[in-house]
Amino acid sequence: MIHRMEHRTVRRLAAWTAGLCLIAGAAHAESADTEFARGFAEAWSHEAWEAVAFAIHPDELARVRKLALDAVEAEAKESSKDIRTRLFGAAVTVDDIRHMTPHASMTLFVKRFLAAPRVMKKTRVVGKVTEDKLEHVVVRGWEDENGHGASSVLLVTLMPYGKQWAAVVPTELEEKIEAIIAGADVGARDVGETHVAPLDPAIAKLLSMGITALKEARCSDYYNDVMSPSFRKATSASAAKTLISQCEKSQAMRDRIRITLEVALTLRPRYEYANTRAVFDMTGQGLPYDRFTVEMIDKRWYIAE
């Protein structure tokens, strides 16, 4: 959160680049929409849910968040919690939902409700249909890197995002959300209940590593080793270079981030998603944001945002 609060340009770039994080490169003659659709399909098949959520158009994220929040708020007035429990999980409060960003809400939804096909290691666009401003792209993917054997097919719908493309919320996901709001129980993957617990020593080690790097102005080490691979994948090379340069030049920026890490060291975070994500409540700490998050990837903790 500290980086998005200070670098809104990076956030805008991240919103449309995340879906491309699994593409091998841009050295092939392929249209931007086709390339984006393949990257989105690959991220979806790998269950790279953060990347999937980042790749969805901000207007779509806001629309679906409002749809869910309005339903939760309406039932709360009647002292009910059925929709909230089915959508977000029993441990998530109405206040938690009010404070969720559109991206955080979507990340939770895709983790809980979006079914993934077999992993796609090789993909090919087999069809594309234009409908008004939308493009419906059919992507076939093979688990075999050479494109042999069984395959899966995904429909990826895109909409313009400036001069680039962003994804529309997958139809099957939106249908499940609407069904839940209408009273159905569509089932959900268990992403783990939340609980507050003492700071994991491995998280403390991560925070200390980040503090040391910032004190010594080793901004490249901070962004390349301490920040999450999800954040790095969702940030273009030029934007990452700009972040590192700004960090190296600005003592105030380094101090602001360092203070956040030092405050986190004194807190007990709320653990989510089977203890793979830790959220720190930064309310009342004199910082321009209320939450700070770290996440576990491949059994290692990183600063998430």
- Render pLDDT for 265-283 as a digit per residue (tens, 0 to 9): 999 998 887 678 899 988 8
pLDDT tens digits along 15-74: 334 334 333 334 345 789 999 999 999 999 988 888 899 899 999 999 999 999 999 999
The pLDDT, as a whole number, for residue 241 is 92
Confidence label for 76 from pLDDT (cuts 50, 70 and 90) = very high
pLDDT tens digits along 186-222: 988 766 556 788 899 999 999 999 999 999 999 999 9
Closest CA to 219 of 248, 239, 252: 248
204, burial (CB in 10 Å: exposed 0-12, middle 13-18, buried 19+): middle
- Model pTM above 0.75: no
